[in-house]
Each structure stands twice: as structure tokens, then as C-alpha cells.
Amino acid sequence: MHRRTSMFQLFKLSTMFVVFSLAFQGLTRAEEAPGTKKFARIKVGDKTTFAIVEGDQVREIKGNLFRKWEETDTTHALSDVKILVPTSARHVFAMAGNYKSHLAGAEVPKKFQIPQPFFKSPSSLLPEGGVIRIPPGDENVHYEAELVVVIGKRAKNVPVEKAMDYVFGLTCGNDVSARTWQNDAETKDVQWWRGKGADTFGPCGPFIVQGLDPSNLKMTLRLNGEVRQEENTSQLLHDVPSTVSFISKHVTLLPGDLIFTGTPGKTDRMKSGDVVEVEIEGIGILRNTVAKKGERVKGEKGKKRKRKKD
């Protein structure tokens, strides 16, 4: 009996190690392309800061990432820090109908022949490893893999040909969408305020990468290891410069603001217990689990209950 128990415990430990290893490899898997630089917003102890990602290490920086900064001598193992959402964005936009493969029909409807951005709430942002919560009232919650643009400086009335000067870098995103609230013929909301902007509906990260060409990146979404979406950003109807320029004509973009650029192909429902991964060439893998609101997830940190004294 003791031998069986020991073997079972060993098996459990081995399994946990494999799961942890795969998760960590997801962070470090993307090879740095020549001429690129990778950043992460991290938490070490009680300190939140930006860092340069160097393989399986991160090096803290000093200063303002979007203005002036310098490297420090302080380094950490990537596995020892908490990866946060890439920025503390004040504005979060997303693009509707920005891939032909996502639209029904052979022709692009007239309304999508111009960019169609909408707001997501900053509180929807969720970091790598966070839990996507299925809300009560709408369990038809879908994934949407997206390339996300990180704005680097104040942008107002920016011409298309200069728009990339205002882009700091790129990251991965998942524009989580509650389809009943968004699309139901009888009960849909007037706006997508919760259908697209509910808490945890904006996973993004894990890194911001500079130096990539946003017009030619392979993007893949996997649900429980199975490929569900796969597309190249060359298929965007409105590319990154056009999108940034269009939005800046109507809303002033600020450093750290995020733009989800749209999703390709078909999407499908996620359920409690699912693991969803968005991988973009040169950036890395954004991995999140799915659970119902209030449902405890294994490994998730929570408040410890105080024991009542006898």
C-alpha cells in the first residue's frame, strides 16, 4: 500500500512538472528575430516595473518605457516574476470585421470597407495565465485571436504614412466575446459594453515586441491543444497604419493604449476547464484558462479563510 501511494505521488509530481514546463516554454518559445526587442511588464515582490526579456531572463529598466529609460543591472529568472498585462492602458480599442474570412459572404459589406473600431474597457484586460470568467447570463462565450498594437506616443490626426512612428510594439490578444449579449436578435445589448468589455474579456501579452512587421505575422489559436484559428496578418482588411491613423482622427491615442486589430475565420464557444492559447510569430504564446464566475481554478491564488477559534 505504501509503495502504491508513493508511486502515485511520484506520478502526480511528474505530471505537475510537465504542465509547468510546458507553460514556461510557452513564454520562452518565441525566438527573437534579428533587430527586435522584447519587453514585459512584471511584478517582483511589491514592485511593478518594465523589463527587457533576454531568453529565460528579464532585466529591469529604469525610467519611462514610452519616453526615456535605461537598463539596470537587476535581473531575474523569467520563471520567478509575475507577468502583468503589457500596459496600464487608458484606452483599449478593438476592430470589428477586419478579416474577410471572419465576415459572412463573398463580398466585404460596405460598412466594413472603412475601419470599424469599438471600445473595450481597460478593466477587461487579463494577463498571461489569468482566468477568463464566463459570466452568468451568457455562457455562449467565444475566443478571438488578435494581433494587438501598443501605442508609444500621443497620436492625434496622424497620417497613414507616419502612423508606424506612433506604434511602440506588438503583442498577442484574445478579444473574448459573449455572443448572446452581442448578437442575439431579441435580447442583445444596444452597445457591446459587456459583450466585449466585461472583466477578463481582454487577455493580452505576454510580451511587447518591437521591430516586427505587423503586415506579415502568422497567428494561431489553439483550444485545448487543437488549432481552431490560423491566419496571417497580411489578410487584415485595414492594416495597422490605416487603423492607427483612422482612430487618431477621432480619439487622441496615448502612450500605452492598446488596439486589438480583429480576428480571422470562425470562432467557437469556450467552456469551463478549457485552455486557450494565442500564438503570434515573433511574440510568443498567450495562454489562459476558462472558468465560470466564482469557480475556483486549481493553482489560482485566493484569500485564505481565517480559522475560527474554538
At the second CATH level, the architecture of 87-292 is Alpha-Beta Complex (3.90)
Q: Residue 149's beta-bridge partner residues?
A: 170, 259
Query: CA 173: distance to chain centroid?
Result: 3
Question: Collapsing DSSP states into helix, strand and coil, what is residue 60?
Answer: strand
Q: Alpha-carbon torsion 63, 65, 69, 72, what sign?
A: positive
Burial class (CB in 10 A: 0-12, 13-18, 19+), 204: buried
Integer angstrom CA distances of residue 18 from 11, 25, 151, 189 = 11, 10, 36, 43
- Identical fold, 35-84 and 87-292: no
In the CATH hierarchy, which fold is given to the domain comprising 35-84?
SH3 type barrels. (2.30.30)
**Segments making up each domain of the chain, as ranges:** 1-30, 35-84, 87-292
Helical residues (DSSP H) of 144-279, grouped into ranges: 179-183, 240-248
**Residue 26 pLDDT:** 55
Residue 46 is inside which H or E element, if any? none
pLDDT tens for the chain, residues 1 to 310: 444 444 444 444 443 444 444 455 556 455 667 789 999 999 999 999 999 999 999 999 999 999 999 999 999 999 999 999 999 999 999 999 999 999 987 789 999 999 999 999 999 999 999 999 999 989 999 999 999 999 999 999 999 999 999 999 999 999 999 999 998 888 898 899 999 999 999 999 999 999 999 999 999 999 999 999 999 999 999 999 999 999 999 999 999 999 999 999 999 999 999 999 999 999 999 999 999 988 988 766 554 444 444 4
Q: Residue 151's beta-bridge partner residues?
A: 167
CA 117/CA 98 separation, integer angstroms: 9
CA 298/CA 208 separation, integer angstroms: 28
Residue 19 is inside which H or E element, if any? helix 2-28
**Cell for 110?**
460596405
